Amino acid sequence: MHDMSAHAQAGHHAPTSFIRKYVFSLDHKVIGKQYYGLAFLAACVGMVLSWVMRLHLGWTNLAIPGLHFLSSTGAPGDVMTPEYYLQLMTMHGTIMVFFVLTTAPFAAFGNFFLPIQVGAEDMPFPRFNMMSFWVTFVAFCVLVASFFAGDGPSLAGWTQYAPLSAVGSVAGPGQGLGEVLWASSIAIFCVGQLLGSLNFITTTLNMRTRGMSLWRLPLSSWAWFITSIMGLTAFAVLMPACILLILDHVAGTSFFVPSNLVINDQLQPHSGGSTLLWQHLFWFFGHPEVYIAIVPAMGIVSHILMPNLRRPLLSHRVLVYSMGAIAVLSYMVYGHHMFVSGMNPISSIAFSFPTLVITIPATIIVLIWLGSLYGSKLRINSASLFSLGMISMFITGGISGFFLAQPSLDIMLHATYFVVGHFHFVMAVSAMFGIFAGTYFWFPKMYGRMMNETLGKIHFILTFIGAYCIFMPFHYLGLAANVRRYQAFTDDYLQPLIPVHKFITVAALLTGAAQLVFVYNLIHSRFWGEKAPDNPWQATSLEWATTSPPPFDNFGGQLPVVYHDAYQYGIEGATDDYVMQNSPEQIEAVRDEA
């Protein structure tokens, strides 16, 4: 190891006041934990919303005790109105996509570990970093405030299609103030993510320590870097779109509202706006957003698999190129969300082709994982199990994507539960599994204590089985033409499907309850867990070269010097079977691509 002589830590003083240390902290590690906490809170809210919706779908007009406290008009006598179902659905989608799937794998883990993995003492713009979190927090508060303001939150779905989203309260409850709060919240959220992306990109480009070439970056760092580029371009488009939407609401402009629109027998005072324009702007953000959620999970899972496989993946470079290809292609495929929008059919074909092409890099990534797993002696622990789970969910969700990529099939399936099953698997659950894997893997580094492995494995088994029980039947429902976004299924042909809905609801409640095991494990381990060693997984990257938890400046006054690729596992002749990135030990290169 390099010499650890006593160099002054004069450059970077740790703050002493409570506010600077825990609230408005400039330390990327504290900000990462704050993001994790926010995502955790948001996930709880989003999950409870899904339970309430599922109960309503399984047992229409079921009184859910206490629901009227949330909204007396939306749930009179604890039974939700059809409109209130849509409002809860909108909030579930928005909270989960923006405040869980974007913040946890990208902003939370990325903030904590990107600077450490590149060998820096912090991000280059700590003040922007702090603002990034607090702006995101304000966005969350604004969104949640819409539950309690006016006639509740927006009911236009997380995609907020115009003209429903743009005409105001005439379109239904929540479309007045609730809608403005939604659009404001997301515009604010964009600011936070742009500030975060700025830090992530400059950290990767400018803050790498000596010897840390780009190809020596761990795959998780690569994933965060690629994601931050996607975030920068996608959120920069969503923000002006939200501002135009707000103007249609409050200033009477007609960006998205067409002429002669009659709603509830009232002619709308707008003219000539383009409803498709909103969809173009939204999905230009929205599709990259899918990959903003899943690419960090891909990087995290790849990063976790290797110390457990005790050998490198088949190819580090091809995996990075594939993630890059996904990022580039993600801007060319967004129209596949609009096959049923009335868009020119030629456009549909033009969007269908890259949609099928983007499955190639995704498939390559999956094959790299599977090929690396083949014949290996995988160490079974909670982190590796959840990594396998993520791969499983991603494959399952990806396969239904092949069908949906074709306009002729998508026109049939688009408005059904088939799509709900598809995106929950490929983006939501697989990203959640990535978050869980990252939590079990990095918790010892973040808090200096080990998590309970037995509870972790129980949590995995219950969640894995539960996720399939919830989301697999969605595909069946969709093929049976069960329409989505409906609050009740009253048509005759849907009656035989009601038991499936009941099954899904029970599975969702049980799987949700199983998360209590995780919550208990998290809290118990945080305070009473076994003390974590510096490198509990015998891993090679730089976060394991410092103490658990890392000191304020990450490396105790001395930046590490990097000598090796990120994943030198299974090295014959080395002192151990692995060589850390900052170890000057000379080794025979195995699968060295740098």
Partner 1 sequence: MATTVHEPPRIQEPRRPGGSVPAGNGGMRNLVPANGNLRAVQEYAPAPADAGIWVVLAAISMSFAALTSALVVRKGGAADWRHLTLPSILYLNTILLIASSVTMEISRRRVASFMGNREGHSGSASRWLYATLLLGLAFVAGQYVAWGQLRAQGVFLATNPSSSFFYVITAAHALHVLGGLGGLLRVIRKFTNRSLRRSTLIATSRYWHFMDVLWIYLLLLLWAKL
Burial 410-449 (b: 16+ CB within 10 A, else e): beebbbbbbbbbbbbbbbbbbbbbbbbbbbbbbbbbbbbb
What does the block give as tokens for 272? Answer: 């000539």
What does the block give as tokens for 105? Answer: 């794998």
Residues 369/390, Cβ–Cβ less than 8 Å: no
327 is an interface residue for partner 1 by CB under 8 A = no
Neighbours of 497 (CB within 10 A): 18
**By C-alpha distance, which of 316, 359, 311, 353 is closest to 335?**
353
Which is closer to partner 1, CB of 121 or CB of 151?
A: 121
Rule CB under 8 A: which of 190-219 touch partner 1? 194, 197-198, 201-203, 205-213
Which is closer to partner 1, CB of 32 or CB of 115?
A: 115
Query: Residue 147 to residues 70, 89, 177: CA-CA distances in angstroms?
Result: 7, 12, 10
Q: Site for partner 1 (CB under 8 A): which residue of 82, 124, 150, 536? A: 124
Q: Site for partner 1 (CB under 8 A): which residue of 182, 255, 447, 468? A: 255
Using DSSP's 3-state secondary structure scheme, residue 594 falls into coil
233 is an interface residue for partner 1 by CB under 8 A = yes
Q: Site for partner 1 (CB under 8 A): which residue of 62, 63, 145, 236? A: 236
Which is closer to partner 1, CB of 3 or CB of 265?
A: 3
The answer for residues whose C-beta is within 8 angstroms of residue 492's C-beta and 6 or more apart is none
Q: Site for partner 1 (CB under 8 A): which residue of 44, 277, 409, 481? A: 277
Which is closer to partner 1, CB of 23 or CB of 594?
A: 594
Which is closer to partner 1, CB of 7 or CB of 485?
A: 7
Size of the site for partner 1 (CB under 8 A): 70
Residues 561/580, Cβ–Cβ less than 8 Å: no
What secondary structure letter does DSSP report for 81?
A: P
Which is closer to partner 1, CB of 198 or CB of 514?
A: 198
Rule CB under 8 A: which of 539-568 touch partner 1? 553, 557-565
Which is closer to partner 1, CB of 77 or CB of 584?
A: 584
9 is an interface residue for partner 1 by CB under 8 A = yes
247 is an interface residue for partner 1 by CB under 8 A = yes
Rule CB under 8 A: which of 284-323 touch partner 1? 284
Q: In degrees, to the nearest 5, what angle opens at C-alpha 515 toward C-alphas 509 and 521?
A: 155
Closest distance between partner 1 and the C-beta of residue 480, in Å?
Answer: 37
CA distance 423 to 531: 39
Query: Residue 399 to residues 395, 396, 404, 473, 536: CA-CA distances in angstroms?
Result: 6, 5, 9, 15, 36
Which is closer to partner 1, CB of 47 or CB of 223?
A: 223
Neighbours of 266 (CB within 10 A): 10
Q: In degrees, to the nearest 5, what angle opens at C-alpha 165 toward C-alphas 164 and 169?
A: 80
CA distance 180 to 188: 12
Q: Site for partner 1 (CB under 8 A): which residue of 274, 363, 392, 406? A: 274
Residues of this chain that interact with partner 1 (CB under 8 A) are 2-3, 5, 7-12, 120-121, 124-125, 194, 197-198, 201-203, 205-213, 232-233, 235-237, 239-241, 243-244, 247, 251-255, 259, 271-274, 276-277, 280-281, 284, 553, 557-565, 586, 588-590, 592, 594
